[in-house]
Structure 1
């Protein structure tokens, strides 16, 4: 079982690499989608960490994957440049999944 990081900046990727988490730095929507496809195919990757900026490149696809794919688990992480409202994002996903506003 492996954790993988898809990041938009080198600092986040390097920090996680020091913790033993491999990853890539990408900037374009197609690069993000290509990496996500690669992570889905790889049976070893069970968790994919993505910075908020990466999630914002294709929120519709990532939201759909979170709701409909059992593997890998997609987790949004804030980076040092962002002031992400990750809690609100989680509330939104739960509300969409169960149909009740939290």
Structure 2
């Protein structure tokens, strides 16, 4: 028996598809408000990461261990996806914007120059 792995998912087409699906179902807030709410969704997702870390480490004495590190990984993925969809909402060229920014981040020194 061999391990069957699904074909790799192309990141940017998947983000574009998620963006299109969200746009097609957008009914509550039009325009700028929808954009702001989509960006605010990042805070919600980051909070879910924090909740999962607290749950994985059992730091809430009333609840104990409620999450796994797999849950933390999934929540981090949700943050990344939400951020990329928000970026796609701001620009039709999210890949170019992201890669340009990533290049700049990679070129930053890790330590302050002395």
TM-score (norm 1): 0.36
Q: Which has the higher strand share?
A: 1
Q: Which has the higher helix share?
A: 2
Larger CA Rg, structure 1 vs 2: 2
